[in-house]
Amino acid sequence: MHPVGSSAPVRALEPAPVDVALATPTLLPALDYLADLVGRVHRARRRVRLTTLTLSDGFLTGALVDALVDAARRGVEVCVQADTFTFRDTAASLLPGRVPTRARSDARTLAWRIRSAGGTFTWLGHERGPLFKGRTHTKLTVVDDSVYAFGGVNLDDRGVTNVDFMLRFDDPALADALADVHAEIRTVNRSTRPASVALPHEHGEVLIDGGGAGDSIIYRRALEVVEDAVEVTLVSQYCPTGELGRAIKERPHRIFFNRPGQASLLNRALIASSMLATRTSTSYAHPDYLHAKVILAHMPDGSRTAITGSHNFVWRGVEYGTREIALLTRHQDSVDAIAGFIDTEVHRRGDTA
């Protein structure tokens, strides 16, 4: 099998032998994900590959940084990469990179700890320019033959306390493929970005946005799924926009995203303007910040399809050129787990219907 739409050096996912049942992934809410990941990194023997938008040595996430340092000192091949968004904000973006801020200082100390232990640390993207342009929004971690991906959890204290989740797969082939994705992101950090790619998998398709402006296989697949659906539930940090947002509203739907007052200043403006432009309201009313990103579609034949990952289903992010990762799946156990999360952690928290 070969990736669709790209010649990027990401190995294809060969199917498991027919007599081998692929394990059902485990859905881990944000804090459970952090705890599980810390334990796995402490037990790692060969490799740790971590790609994230943000990473901090915080009160909660400091345990992960300690585990990464410990693993590197034990001789495990530890490679970490995080976006400069970790230490960027509106004010810092106006300052030269050499001007110290508390966030920059903390980030450099974190990177130094991992490097000095024998690990590799790479900052992704530029420190200056538009804050949301060209970001690496991908969240994936490989620990030996296990993978954490297809959710939205950022690895800072705020990120691990949001309403969010990750999926864990114990799958050597998927681990190898996503280790390749991790390596490719680092290789083309600030150069021309590859086309988006789809990798076949027993549970569906692994969808990878390479970060080219206007190119998102995740957004395209989501639109295809929604256009075929008879009913759609969307969960996102933001109000859905573009053709996808319109398609969702053309059929019975439930839409959950944060109210403007829950968000930071920039995100508040983004959510409010999107709601006004699209005339879309949210059914989410709970004060806990919603950060999961899922589309759950009910199909005409009675089946369900889910798309889950790091993509917020906002067209502006596609225009800006954002690296993302998602899973498109019809696997019953996986969809059941995702639907259960939506019901207990999103619908029961905030459905105003």
Q: What is the pLDDT of residue 233?
A: 98
Q: What is the pTM of this model?
A: 0.89
In a domain, 198, yes or no: no
CATH of the domain at 38: 3.30.870.10
pLDDT tens, position by position, 48-79 = 999 999 999 999 999 999 999 999 999 999 99
Q: Do 215 and 174 reside in the same domain of the chain?
A: no
In a domain, 62, yes or no: yes
- Which stretches in the chain have pLDDT values below 50? 1-9, 15-20, 90-97, 350-353
Q: Do 172 and 260 reside in the same domain of the chain?
A: no
Q: Do 91 and 48 reside in the same domain of the chain?
A: yes
Encoded amino acid at 39, one letter: G
Of 191, 225, 254, at which residue does a domain stop?
A: 191
Q: Do 161 and 39 reside in the same domain of the chain?
A: yes
Q: What is the pLDDT of residue 89?
A: 59
In a domain, 235, yes or no: yes
Q: Do 179 and 36 reside in the same domain of the chain?
A: yes
Of 137, 167, 191, at which residue does a domain stop?
A: 191
Tokens in use for 259?
């109210």
Tokens in use for 285?
């009313």
Q: What is the pLDDT of residue 4?
A: 36
204 vs 327: CA distance, rounded Å: 7
Question: Per DSSP, which regions of the chain are E strands?
Answer: 26-29, 47-52, 77-83, 120-124, 140-143, 146-149, 165-170, 197-201, 204-209, 231-235, 253-256, 294-298, 304-309, 324-329
Q: Do 54 and 119 reside in the same domain of the chain?
A: yes
Asked whether 207 and 270 are in contact (CB, 8 A), the reply is no
Segments forming the whole domain that contains residue 179: 26-191
